[in-house]
Structure 1
Amino acid sequence: MVFSTPDLADSAPDARAVLHPWQDYGAVTCFSGVAVTVKCFEDNSLVKELVQQPGNGRVIVVDGGCSLRRALLGDQLAAKAVENGWSGLVIAGAVRDVEILETLELGIKALGSCPQKTDKRGEGQLNVSIEVGGTTVCSGDYIYADRNGVLVSAEPLLPL
């Protein structure tokens, strides 16, 4: 489904913009879905667990502490997300393998890239309220992302 986040924002004054200088890394630049939240810092253990589960069109929203020192998503995990039906990922942190990510049918927004992978320490929190880009995102919120940015809403802004 193609939509415009500016049009959605105009028609839904309660929608909140997630204010970060997002960069698009996946082949899909317009995506939406119900949020699943992850809070982690330089450890993508929970992201790895999630992408191996059925996505059902949902969007993983990661509060990575805005760190650009370690990539929270690479080509293998992104390919698994595509395989399992995730709509996209919004990552307040870094990704890697960008030349491969751009070929995958997945929405990926992140703050930047870094060639180094994370350590797997099994740390982080799943399905918690996170602060990303000046707004709170909760699992179950609705995420709308396009080249203009990212919107979050407690209610659906488009027909499901």
Structure 2
Amino acid sequence: MAQEYASCDLCDAHKSDFSGDFRVLPPVFRDFGGVKKFAGPVVTVRCFEDNTLVKAAVDSVGYIETAEGRVAKVLVVDGGASLRKALLGGNLGAAAARNGWAGVVIDGCVRDTAELAQQVVGIRALAAIPMPTEKRNQGQADVAVQIQGVWVRPGDWLYADEDGIVVSDKALV
């Protein structure tokens, strides 16, 4: 179920919304996936240098069936902005694509960037680093997270394109 939008147009339409229902993530995210523009309802994970829950998420079905058709979800990962270990690499990027996720936004790092660029999924993160995480089975799923100071909640809608990333408490298109 593809819908057209531009983050600039969404910002134009909501520039006077000070309710907190419409938010813009800071322009610190780099593009690593094979899909440049993606949107969908948000699923969240909070973890720090442990990607156990990221793996569990991307290994699960990345879409929901609705009366209007299939809607791909977006995984938002609060990695504590760590620049020391990668929370997503080639294998997990391939799993996200295979399982139908629209995208993954990580407040942290990725690795295997050449592999990620080949995947049919949107991937945004702060940076790339070759160091993997340790598996400690720590973290939380489906909780409100702060990404670069902006609150993102499960069920919010995220829209990403070449100009940026916006989040809303409801579908906008």
Deviation at 1:134, TM superposition (A): 2.0
Deviation at 1:20, TM superposition (A): 4.2
The residue that corresponds to 1:31 in the other structure is 38
Q: Could you state the TM-score of these two structures normalised by the residue count of structure 1?
A: 0.95
1:47 and 1:107 map into 2 onto residues whose CA distance is 15
- Pairing 1:14-93 to 2, within 5 Å after superposition: 14-56=21-63, 57-93=72-108
Identity over aligned pairs, percent? 46
Aligned residues: 158
Verify the 8 A CA contact 1:2 1:30 in the aligned structure 2.
no
Kindly report structure 1 stretches of 4+ aligned residues shifted beyond 2 Å.
Answer: none
Q: Could you state the TM-score of these two structures normalised by the residue count of structure 2?
A: 0.88
The residue that corresponds to 2:145 in the other structure is 130
1:134 and 1:122 map into 2 onto residues whose CA distance is 25
Which of 143, 147, 152 lines up with 2:158 in the alignment?
A: 143
Deviation at 1:3, TM superposition (A): 2.3
Secondary structure class of the residue paired with 2:34: coil
Deviation at 1:4, TM superposition (A): 1.2
Verify the 8 A CA contact 1:20 1:111 in the aligned structure 2.
no
Verify the 8 A CA contact 1:74 1:95 in the aligned structure 2.
yes
5+ long unaligned stretches in structure 1: none
5+ long unaligned stretches in structure 2: 64-71
Verify the 8 A CA contact 1:66 1:93 in the aligned structure 2.
yes
